[in-house]
Amino acid sequence: MTSFVKPRIRRKNQPVNELGLTRADYEGAMSTLCAGCGHDSVTASMARAFFRLSIEPHRAVKVSGIGCSSKTTAYFLRESHGNNTVHGRMPSVATGAAAANSSLTYIGVSGDGDSLSIGLGQFVHAMRRNVNMLYVLENNGVYGLTKGQFSASADIGSLAKKGAPNEQPPIDPVSLALSVGATFVARGFSGDREQLVPLIEAGLKHKGFGLIDVISPCVSFNDHKGSTKSYAHTYKYYHKSVHADFVPPSKDIKVKYDEGEMMPVELHDGGVIRLRKLERGFDPRDRAAATMALAKAQQNKEILTGLIHIDESHPDMHELNRMEERPLNEIPYAELNPGAAKLAELQKNFR
Amino acid sequence: MSAASTNDFVIKLANVNGTGSASANGLLMKAIFRMGVPVVGKNVFPSNIQGLPTWYEIRVTGDGYRGRSGDVHIMVAMNAETYEQDLAELSPGGFLIYDNTWPRPHFLSRKDVTVLGVPLARMCNEAFKVARSRILMKNMAYVGVIAALLDLDLHVLHGLVRDMFASKAKLIDLNMQAIALGFDYAKENFSCPLCFRVEPMDKTKGKVMIDGNTAAGLGCVYAGATFGAWYPITPSTSLMDGFAKYCAQLRVDEDTGKHKYCIIQAEDELAAAGMVIGASWNGARAFTPTSGPGISLMSEFIGFAYYAEIPFVLFDIQRVGPSTGMPTRTQQCDIQLCAYASHGDTRHILLFPADPGECFEMAVQAHDLAERFQTPVFVLSDIDIGMNDWMVDELSWDDSYQPDRGKVLSAEQLEKIEKFHRYLDVDGDHIPYRTLPGVHPKGAYFTRGSGHNKWGGYTEDGQEYKELVDRLRLKWASSADHVPAPVIIKSEKKTNCAILSLGSCDGAVVEARDRLEAKGLPLNYMRVRGFPFCSEVENFIQNHEQVYVVEQNRDAQLLNLLLAETRVKRKKLLSVLHYSGEPLDYRFVFDEILKASEMRKSA
Ligand SMILES: Cc1ncc(C[n+]2csc(CCOP(=O)(O)OP(=O)(O)O)c2C)c(N)n1
Ligand code: SF4
Ligand SMILES: [Mg+2]
């Protein structure tokens, strides 16, 4: 594939990536979200990850549902196709798009309302299919766009802005992902870019479905005292377990791993994820250990973050469907048309 | 009393679901077809896997008519539960065949029919050891009885049995033995053949027997579709089964075993719709087969594809609604639903195939139209077309066909242009250009179901919104001349009355029209094949004083669509509505039109 990408005019000393593009080349339209909204920070982290991975913007595809979070696909990678679909149904559109062309990088952006209520079914089934995409769930415990109703990720006892507590148990996207066999599961925080950007890079490079649940506070409806999705609460109970760094294939990564580091995980394209255990870390390649650690953290009301589970061995949707390498949308019609003679032959059975 | 008849009668088989009768009945119909005599087959089956009553009707029609007649001349009553009903349905002068292993003297309550008892169960129990084959072979034994009674060609039957069990020699013998049991019994005990009999003809050359769903699945293969997503629902399932079967046969690389297609069984119809939209948006030809309940669920996505202008091919194999309704019975009840599916101002392209041959053709046309007009396209089939084997002209293919992929800009074209605007009407034909992801940075745009202007940007400006939806309306209207044109049959006699109909009504309407003309009531006939209606449709109605609109639903959906979408006057149109869930028969159409025309005369 020849590159059509032409860098924008840039100032001296601006950092450039391997394509010669600057960070500005990975930006999008002006955000229309509330000042201080966590989602804007996540947008910046996603743009940064694409920049660092030197992905040609037009070779990436952004898909989203409906919500403040889902709007953000317009705010980064202006030279990528975006598809802002319908509420809760982004996973199906992503699945079809990925099926049609496996050679692009797919990123889905959704919210906790979009993914865990109206879209719960599609969310779970995309994981089961192991669609090759990164799914960023910007989790604020409320429906931001419809002005602050509790979402299904609200914790028991968390207070609404007007004071009423939530009384129903939450759906934790990370536990859910582990239970349905997702092959890359992580949690981050919009306020911790240092942890989040490498997680996004790793998730984009992972072959199969990657989920990053990002705590992303809603400053307008869920950042008050008594909310468990506020900035203050998140900072207080934030608990980093395993730090993941993505190392691209071109870099020589003759593994030098420090104390507290684990065996690096090799990815399909030759890249590597380096894992660093923090405090009470565990081996994220071990699904059972991850599940246990998660349950313990929940019991202690800690927010476990970092790379929680990774499994590079599971076949993705394309492999499971035995699809050929070449994208479906590039197969010439001549190869798809059985022709008149064949049609006559097939009809022998209909006599 | 029914008169004696060669090659013109109806035989109906009443069975219990799950007893293996379907293949025996199919065999019988095919045998007649192979003798060169046209046939019409209708399967009336329950929403059940085992135990409920099911009927199979074979009309032997030397005249080549394609609908039901409404008569039953020979009833094979294999289901004790429905004996009474089956006996009542038999036309005077008809024959009832039943298993008299358990005699039923009350059959003698009708003096105008002849009852032929055959000890099928007893004969099969004596001849076969395995319990299951005793049940299955009873079916083959009645095929043998009928073969003797109708004077069917045994060589033809044997040939079919051989084809059916190609690799299993033992099964061939077993089935032949059962056929012989019945055949010999009938020869010995009845005077064969009956007054109803089959005589070889030469009228099935160049014809095939195929169901509409298989034909549509095959059509999708020929259209070059590479992606299909669906959620199982009767009666659309066999369409995807057909596509999958032919893909497995034709689209798998011999060396690598790799597929040139992808089929996904979605978690529900909403997901199936989203997947197809995603694949189409990304440049693969894609489709979903479903039925009414699925269309209801897909509605939000249908509006999205309409507004964001994404090709989206849907097959609606209509079944009786509302709600779960009678899921194995046929109707044309989703016409209005599909025409305007989704919230907001939406209107869609619809295609109305009348038989499996048109299912094949329209599957290809639907993909061309969806990509040309960048919009949802519905193929409205139904259970009658989709799940019954129809005798149609052998499907043909033009090797020079090239798919119409519509206005998609290539990398080279994008390289040359200054700036790409997704929704700009550059050519003045109301159709904007689209681009595919990954092709060129200049092609990137943001697809959204929220308000957008012609430049492709977000908008909440009323004028910009109106400009775009006005173009959508014009775009849709311009497709009227690209959907399949209506088929018109003109009477040789002068008349100001006509029939207008669509889809699977065709066979019954054509026959009713002939018979009405013979009775002194000549009628012209138009069968619409697409929506939006082209100007010919309106003109046709305007040129007649009275138009009978024949359709299979309660609410006159086609008639109301005509009123809404043309300037014709209400009083010109008269409804003939059939909505019992059984495939339409000519007698119903004949009677209704005759009645109405007499009322008109006396008024
Ligand atoms: C079918 C449908 N129902 C309801 C809505 C209204 N709606 C828009 S966004 C939203 C909730 C979004 O919540 P979330 O995904 O958490 O996004 P956030 O705004 O919090 O980022 C709802 C209910 C809709 N757009 N479509
Ligand atoms: S309402 Fe909440 S989620 Fe939406 S933009 Fe404002 S702060 Fe962000
Ligand atoms: Mg939210």
Q: For chain B, list the domains and their CATH numbers.
A: 5-205 (3.40.920.10), 210-393 (3.40.50.970), 411-481 (no CATH), 487-602 (3.40.50.920)
Q: How far, CA to CA in Å, does B25 sit from each of B5, B13, B166, B184?
A: 21, 8, 18, 19
Q: How far, CA to CA in Å, does B466 sit from each of B103, B409, B474?
A: 75, 26, 12
Supply φ then ψ for residue B291, to 5 degrees: -135, 180
Residues B588, B590, B593, B596: what is their CA dihedral angle, to the nearest 10 degrees? -80
* Interface contact B259-A322, CB threshold 8 A: yes
Give the amino acid at B227: F
Supply φ then ψ for residue B284, to 5 degrees: -100, 145
Chain B nearest-CA distance from A276, in A, is 35
pLDDT above 80 (res A8)? no
For residue B179, which of B23, B11, B8, B16 has the smallest C-alpha distance? B23
Q: How far, CA to CA in Å, does B569 sit from each of B311, B339, B496, B530, B544?
A: 35, 21, 15, 21, 11
Chain A nearest-CA distance from B273, in A, is 8
Report CA(A128)–ligand 1 centroid distance (Å). 24
* Interface contact A340-B286, CB threshold 8 A: no
For residue B352, which of B370, B334, B327 has the smallest C-alpha distance? B334
* Interface contact B284-A99, CB threshold 8 A: yes
Contact B326, B320 (CB under 8 A): yes
Contact B382, B239 (CB under 8 A): no
Q: How far apart are CA B347 and CA B368, in angstroms?
A: 18
Higher pLDDT, A260 or A77: A77
* Interface contact B440-A101, CB threshold 8 A: no
* Interface contact A323-B259, CB threshold 8 A: yes
Token pair in block for residue B380: 């409205």
Mention every residue, 6+ apart, whose C-beta is less than 8 A from residue B496.
B544, B545, B546
Q: How far apart are CA B36 and CA B325, in angstroms?
A: 38
Residue owning tokens 């030098």: A256
Q: Which residue from A328, A333, A335 is facing B227, i.e. has the nearest CB?
A: A328
Mention every residue, 6+ apart, whose C-beta is less than 8 A from residue A58.
A4, A5, A79, A80, A81, B437, B438, B439, B440, B441, B443, B444
- The residue nearest atom 22 of ligand 1, judged by CA position, is A146
> Which ligand has an atom closest to residue A67 CA?
1
Nearest residue in B to A320, CA atom: B262
Q: How far apart are CA A246 and CA A199, in angstroms?
A: 8
Strands B573-577, B546-551: pairing is: parallel
A316-345: average pLDDT: 98
Chain B nearest-CA distance from A341, in A, is 8
β-strand partners of A276 = A243, A261
| Mutation target vs B (from A66, A89, A180; most B CBs, 10 A cutoff) | A89
Taking only the tens place, the pLDDT of each residue in A88-112 is 999 999 999 999 999 999 999 999 9
Q: How many CB pairs under 8 A join A and B?
A: 218
Chain A nearest-CA distance from B447, in A, is 5
A149-161: average pLDDT: 97
Q: Helix axis angle, A90-100 relative to B269-281, nearest 10°?
A: 40
For residue B500, which of B564, B565, B555, B575 has the smallest C-alpha distance? B575
For residue A199, which of A183, A215, A217, A211 has the smallest C-alpha distance? A211
Residues 100-139 of A with CB under 8 A from B: 100-101, 103-104, 121-122, 125, 129
Residue owning tokens 């536990």: A175
- The residue nearest atom 6 of ligand 2, judged by CA position, is A34
| Mutation target vs A (from B243, B281, B304; most A CBs, 10 A cutoff) | B281
Q: Which residue from B278, B439, B441 is facing A5, i.e. has the nearest CB?
A: B441
pLDDT above 60 (res A253)? no
Token pair in block for residue A129: 């299919």
Name the band, by pLDDT with cuts 50, 70 and 90, for residue A1: very low
Reading across the β-sheet that carries B286-290, which strands appear in turn?
B262-265, B227-230, B286-290, B312-318, B376-382, B349-351, B530-531
The ligand 1 atom nearest the CA atom of A143 = 13
Chain B nearest-CA distance from A85, in A, is 6
Residues of chain B with pLDDT under 50: 1-2
pLDDT above 80 (res A288)? yes
Contact B251, B223 (CB under 8 A): no
Higher pLDDT, A278 or B390: B390
Residue A194: half-sphere exposure toward Cβ, Cα within 13 Å: 3
Contacts of B257 in chain A (CB under 8 A): 322
Supply φ then ψ for residue B496, to 5 degrees: -110, 15
Contacts of B34 in chain A (CB under 8 A): 351
> Which ligand has an atom closest to residue B342 CA?
1
Q: How far apart are CA B56 and CA B388, in angstroms?
A: 10
The ligand 1 atom nearest the CA atom of A139 = 16
pLDDT above 90 (res A117)? yes
Token pair in block for residue B309: 């202008």
Taking only the tens place, the pLDDT of each residue in B419-451 is 999 999 999 999 999 999 999 999 999 999 999
Reading across the β-sheet that carries A81-84, which strands appear in turn?
A265-266, A272-277, A238-247, A303-310, A184-189, A209-215, A133-139, A105-111, A60-64, A81-84, B446-448
For residue B222, which of A96, A98, A99, A341 has the smallest C-alpha distance? A341
Backbone dihedral region of A157: left (phi > 0), alpha (psi from -120 to 50 degrees) or beta? left
For residue B444, which of B413, B417, B416, B421 has the smallest C-alpha distance? B421
Contact A153, A139 (CB under 8 A): yes
Q: How far apart are CA B155 and CA B107, in angstroms?
A: 34
* Interface contact A93-B281, CB threshold 8 A: yes
pLDDT above 80 (res A6)? no
Q: How far apart are CA A119 and CA A88, in angstroms?
A: 4
Terminal C-alpha separation, chain A: 49
- Residues in contact with ligand 1 by the CB-under-6-Å rule are A 66-69, 87, 111-114, 138, 140, 142-146, 151, 218
Residues B445, B451, B457, B462: what is their CA dihedral angle, to the nearest 10 degrees? 160
pLDDT of B1: 40
Nearest residue in A to B225, CA atom: A336
Contact B576, B593 (CB under 8 A): yes
pLDDT of B601: 82
Supply φ then ψ for residue A265, to 5 degrees: -100, 125
* Interface contact A82-B447, CB threshold 8 A: yes
Token pair in block for residue B252: 């798998």
Within 10 angstroms of residue A90's Cβ, the number of other Cβ atoms is: 31
For residue A30, which of A43, A42, A19 has the smallest C-alpha distance? A43
The ligand 1 atom nearest the CA atom of A110 = 15
β-strand partners of B316 = B290, B380
> Which ligand has an atom closest to residue A146 CA?
1
pLDDT of B468: 98
- The residue nearest atom 1 of ligand 1, judged by CA position, is A87
For residue B284, which of A4, A95, A125, A82 has the smallest C-alpha distance? A95
A336 contacts chain B (CB < 8 A): yes
Contacts of A322 in chain B (CB under 8 A): 257-259
pLDDT of A7: 56
The ligand 2 atom nearest the CA atom of A38 = 8
pLDDT of B40: 97
Q: How far apart are CA A266 and CA A53, in angstroms?
A: 16
Q: How far apart are CA A140 and CA B200, in angstroms?
A: 76
Considering only A81-90, A280-289, B368-377, which range has the smallest mean pLDDT? Answer: A280-289
A282-298: average pLDDT: 93
Mention every residue, 6+ apart, whose C-beta is less than 8 A from residue A11.
none
pLDDT of B3: 59
b/e B290-321 (16+ beta carbons within 10 angstroms → b): bbbbbbbbbbbbbbbbbbbbbbbbbbbbbbbb
Reading across the β-sheet that carries B8-16, which strands appear in turn?
B39-44, B53-61, B8-16, B74-77, B95-99, B114-118
In chain A, the percentage of residues whose pLDDT exceeds 70 is 93
The ligand 2 atom nearest the CA atom of A67 = 4
Class of domain A23-320: alpha beta
Contacts of A321 in chain B (CB under 8 A): 259, 262-264
Contact A209, A326 (CB under 8 A): no
A97 contacts chain B (CB < 8 A): yes
To the question of pTM greater than 0.95 for the whole model, the response is yes
Chain A nearest-CA distance from B340, in A, is 19
The domain ranges of chain A are: 23-320
Q: How far apart are CA A193 and CA B241, in angstroms?
A: 49
* Interface contact B224-A129, CB threshold 8 A: no
Q: Which residue from A84, A94, A103 is facing B447, i.e. has the nearest CB?
A: A84
Residue B86: half-sphere exposure toward Cβ, Cα within 13 Å: 27
DSSP H/E element including B167: none
pLDDT of B570: 97
Within 10 angstroms of residue B30's Cβ, the number of other Cβ atoms is: 22
Nearest residue in A to B403, CA atom: A333
Within 10 angstroms of residue A320's Cβ, the number of other Cβ atoms is: 12
Give yes or no for residue A33 CB within 6 A of ligand 2. Answer: yes
